[in-house]
Structure 1
């Protein structure tokens, strides 16, 4: 609930910043960097966040995260320019890391039913963005893009009522990883899923939609991005139930291959229909990774493994907006999304190979 109320601070910025970049005092390339910054800081920040939550307990850590999210939203409403907005994106990145890692750790605390709990969790988280995105798009046409973030700050602060219900006791200490390990199949899939679906796809939807529907693009993109979260509410619990019955790895491979086909169609010009298929498939995939990770890494190692997968996803999702800002103005979308689709399909097939707990 706390993450669902805070998340619109980020999702609405993904909608408005590429379309209204001059009003925020940034270029399109700088907008891509800003949207990537919150993910890039989490690459180093997840380990620190995991230790902080273990020492201080979920209640204090998540309450601080909600307060910081609200402050970042106020900053987006009042500050302009790349260097003024960059610290806000970095702080939001640590806030999201705290809330996201806590939700995954609580959902997978027991192996039985972890996929179902992960699906329900994703549905609750999506409720905030599914309401905020279309309203923000309409308000942007009336008030402009900046005042909306004052309202989103108040919405985020409502999450403090939810964090008070979290446990305050400390956890078992999270061990620091020893040395550098080569990425495994789940790492590669997490990286490419973040690169394509949370990076290239979202920025491409906003950027390409602006050209196809001038004047109404912000409303169309806002509705479709809201559909992405509505699909999570409706379909993520279904994905969790399907994983319990069919096997999470098998379902992950099948859905990823279908997503790759949809990405090719998106790049080929079927923008809105391709995007609609992608958001449905993404919603079904979201509950799958945490139970896979928890099963392959039983016991206290679960939290560190979840953090590691989140890091790789954030590396991809942080790289995606940067690549989108650089490539979309000069490279054919078919090439961009066709190549990324092939890589995602390859990574999904690699996840189906025999594995050990190290994977």
Structure 2
């Protein structure tokens, strides 16, 4: 018989999660906040100072994509390592890898010297990202709110590092900032020492192939549109509207993306606790569809700002839904699977954008993926299974049964 206090609360129920769960979630988020700036600052500086890093501009693009590609291939291995060894050793090792990567950005030159650093960081981020999601969803009570706070903490690192990196690059060149970011990553090793070391139970590995589920499809399309098409289109389309200052405006909008996470991700988490994570996911995805169509129609800067807001509100929603649908030993692997699909979308979006933006009207480029995103969000809604005699069906904040996601 399931005890009443073990059930996830209904929408609108006051949340009072255990202090240990909140503290562990904050520690995992702090570790990622201290290690992530090395990557975000490289995104800012490598294309602008490619020659000083000893690479061409196409090689810079490949380097920036390498960490995402290795995550697509390596997330399964990282998830198994994480489940076997627990958060503390995994995150300490990942933070140490981030430190090595930042030192390499400061000292090494050339494509083949930098590629191993990008691959190392890709695996490190996979582990740290998985830990933040697993810690935030360790207790179903308040998972969405806790995940919103986690996203806000993580975004503090890039918000502080991006303007500092630009200033350092202007004063002393693009390398010096990475010595400082190596020190912050080293501080991440210390932050990870407070995480629990217990392993996570994992189900037996399945050898059969499974078609992507509704949440997989939504994750792919969100990464494809918001982290792929939108980012490339912002610079490409903006240069025609504001040739003299498009880079500055585009950079400001991208920096505001992280500031939006700090301010709005906790709001999204609280809204999910009140209205239901799935219901909010559908509503925000439909709004995003409208805004993406407007972006393609030519309202570049206003719609870009709206996309930043909507993206920040959506970030806390998926992990609680995944944890609710896949309780028990399968939670860590399910969280990793959704991250893989998002990475696939975010990796293919820029590639397609670079090919079609010069050839196809923007209204079509953004309308079609936007409509697919809306359909994917609607497909995520499932009818709750009614209670039957002799079984226990639990509902999360969105009224969805606590069963593994097998929706094709």
Same fold (TM over 0.5): yes
Which deviates further from its counterpart, 204-213 or 193-202?
204-213
1:44-102 deviations in Å (ceiling 9; x for gaps): 21221122122222111111111111221222233344333322221111000100101
Q: Which residue of 2 aligns with 1:195?
A: 224
Q: Which residue of 1 aligns with 2:321?
A: 292
| C-alpha distance in 1 between matches for 2:286 and 2:106 | 40
SS at match of 1:191: helix
Q: Which residue of 1 aligns with 2:123?
A: 94
Which deviates further from its counterpart, 347-356 or 155-164?
347-356
Change (3 A) 1:89 1:215: farther
Q: Which residue of 2 aligns with 1:281?
A: 310
- Say what the alpha-carbon RMSD is for the aligned residues: 2.4
SS at match of 2:212: coil
Deviation at 1:283, TM superposition (A): 0.6
Change (3 A) 1:146 1:213: farther
Residue pairs, 1:172-211, within 5 angstroms: 172-173=201-202, 175-209=204-238
Aligned length: 359
Please state which structure has a larger fraction of its residues in helix.
Answer: 1
| C-alpha distance in 2 between matches for 1:106 and 1:338 | 36
Residue pairs, 1:86-235, within 5 angstroms: 86-173=115-202, 175-209=204-238, 216-235=245-264
The runs of 5 or more residues in structure 2 that have no matched partner are 1-29, 385-402
74, 83, 90: which one pairs with 1:61? Answer: 90
1:95-143 deviations in Å (ceiling 9; x for gaps): 0010010111111111111111111111111110111122223433444
1:8 correspondence with 2:37 = yes
| C-alpha distance in 1 between matches for 2:358 and 2:169 | 24
Q: Which residue of 1 aligns with 2:77?
A: 48
| C-alpha distance in 2 between matches for 1:330 and 1:88 | 35
Q: Which residue of 1 aligns with 2:332?
A: 303
| C-alpha distance in 2 between matches for 1:219 and 1:279 | 16
| C-alpha distance in 1 between matches for 2:112 and 2:187 | 29
| C-alpha distance in 1 between matches for 2:207 and 2:90 | 25
Residue pairs, 1:76-91, within 5 angstroms: 76-91=105-120
Change (3 A) 1:286 1:296: same
Q: Which residue of 2 aligns with 1:335?
A: 364
Change (3 A) 1:256 1:167: same
Change (3 A) 1:332 1:66: farther
Change (3 A) 1:274 1:84: farther
260, 264, 281: which one pairs with 1:252? Answer: 281
Which protein has the larger Cα radius of gyration, Structure 1 or Structure 2? 2
| C-alpha distance in 2 between matches for 1:284 and 1:248 | 11
Q: Which residue of 2 aligns with 1:37?
A: 66
Q: Which residue of 2 aligns with 1:265?
A: 294
The runs of 5 or more residues in structure 1 that have no matched partner are none
1:237 correspondence with 2:266 = yes
2:83–2:332: 8 Å Cα contact kept in structure 1? no
SS at match of 1:159: helix
SS at match of 1:158: helix
2:88–2:193: 8 Å Cα contact kept in structure 1? yes
Deviation at 1:147, TM superposition (A): 3.1
Which deviates further from its counterpart, 98-107 or 21-30?
21-30
Which deviates further from its counterpart, 30-39 or 54-63?
30-39
Change (3 A) 1:325 1:34: farther
1:323 correspondence with 2:352 = yes
SS at match of 1:168: coil
1:49–1:94: 8 Å Cα contact kept in structure 2? yes
| C-alpha distance in 2 between matches for 1:333 and 1:142 | 38
Deviation at 1:343, TM superposition (A): 2.2
| C-alpha distance in 1 between matches for 2:275 and 2:115 | 43
TM-score when normalising by structure 2: 0.81
SS at match of 2:46: helix
Q: Which residue of 2 aligns with 1:75?
A: 104
| C-alpha distance in 2 between matches for 1:95 and 1:68 | 6
